[in-house]
Amino acid sequence: MMKLVLGARLAAIAGVCMVFLSCGKPPVPTQDLARVNGRSLTKEMIVARADAPQQLTDAQIKMYANRWVISEILYQEAIRQKLDQSEAVKRNLEDAQKQLTVAALLEKEIISVPPGAVAAGKVQAYYDSHADEFAVREQTVWIGTAIFRDRRSAEHFRDAALGSEGWSAAVTAARASNVIVDAADSVLRTQSTLYPNELWRLASAMRTNDVSFPVKTSAGFFVMNLLGSMKRGEAAPLRFVEEKIRERLSVELRQQMYSEYIEMLRKKNNVQLFYADKDTLASVGE
């Protein structure tokens, strides 16, 4: 029995030794890119600090190394002068550590709401209550456009756009037939951005949902679908300002979450302010 136990122990020891031998291989040597008094900079160190390491170029690595050398000689000189022991430096280090730690906490606790996640109802409500902020500054037309190489293709497209399947289906078919030069389903144009002037005169005279006859331009034969028009001071359609609204609401939601989080922490902690002014923390959530 003793022999069996001893044999098992020896086998276990041998197994551990093999593990250490296999894991104890010397690391792959790295090549120093720069060295200052025994402190080295390697390419691996640069890659570890880069935001997009796969996009690093030799020129960027060289620039980083040069900056590292300057920073290192300055730092080592400051150490020689024992400036790292000064109260000002210690205070700055403490402040920096506090700011970085707080930033890490907020990143963890205050969830960022991406603009795309904002509810459509909130976007619509914001648009309705802030319509004056999205007013156009001059007469504007909301149109779909299509440009063709020849008049016959443009006329055939117009007939299809006036049919039961409508403009979008006609554009898709024209693309498949490779007769269309360019198309846009929905754009805003003013007199200064819709040219030649003949196009503007035509668009401003059209009625909503009209599809124009082809107009010859230097770019090709132009066909327009009027989706709407706005006088100066009227709000642009929601689809053209929706992204901006979503960005605003995303920021507002994050600020609201921050205020609620601060208020929660205030109630959780014993906060005392010894001066006559109003407690600024008390109004954070208001």
pLDDT of residue 278: 60
pLDDT of residue 281: 55
**Distance between CA 14 and CA 19 in Å, rounded?**
9
Which of 137, 110, 120 minimizes the C-alpha distance to 232?
Answer: 137
| Count of all residues that appear for the chain in the document | 286
Q: What does the pLDDT profile of the chain (286 residues) look like in tens digits?
A: 434 333 444 344 444 333 334 444 455 556 889 999 999 999 899 889 888 888 889 899 999 999 999 999 999 999 999 999 999 999 999 999 999 999 999 988 887 778 888 999 999 999 999 999 999 999 999 999 999 999 999 999 999 999 999 999 999 999 999 999 999 999 999 999 998 999 999 999 999 999 999 999 999 999 999 999 999 999 999 999 999 999 999 999 999 999 999 999 999 999 888 876 665 555 554 4
pLDDT of residue 111: 78
pLDDT of residue 26: 52
Fold of 137-230: Chitinase A; domain 3 (3.10.50)
Residue 174's CB: how many other CB atoms inside 10 A? 22
Ranges for all domains in the chain classified under CATH 3.10.50.40: 137-230
pLDDT of residue 32: 87
**Distance between CA 112 and CA 210 in Å, rounded?**
44
pLDDT of residue 29: 57
Which of 106, 96, 99, 104 minimizes the C-alpha distance to 265?
Answer: 106
pTM beyond cutoff 0.75: no
pLDDT of residue 22: 41
As to burial, measured by CB atoms within 10 angstroms (0-12 exposed, 13-18 middle, 19+ buried), residue 253 is: middle
**Distance between CA 266 and CA 285 in Å, rounded?**
11
- First-to-last alpha carbon distance for the chain, in angstroms, is 78
Q: Report whether 172 contacts 270 (CB < 8 A).
A: no
**Beta strands across the sheet bearing 220-230:** 180-189, 140-148, 220-230, 215-217
DSSP string, the chain: -HHHHHHHHHHHHHHHHHHHHHHTPPPPP--EEEEETTEEEEHHHHHHH-SSGGG--HHHHHHHHHHHHHHHHHHHHHHHTTGGGSHHHHHHHHHHHHHHHHHHHHHHHS----GGGS-HHHHHHHHHHTGGGGB-SS-EEEEEEEEESSHHHHHHHHHHHTSTTHHHHHHHHHHHHT-EEEEEEEEEE-TTTS-SHHHHHHHHHPPTT-BPPPEEETTEEEEEEEEEEE-TTSBPPHHHHHHHHHHHHHHHHHHHHHHHHHHHHHHHS-----SSS--GGGGTT-
**Distance between CA 31 and CA 190 in Å, rounded?**
61
As to burial, measured by CB atoms within 10 angstroms (0-12 exposed, 13-18 middle, 19+ buried), residue 108 is: exposed
Q: Report whether 189 contacts 140 (CB < 8 A).
A: yes
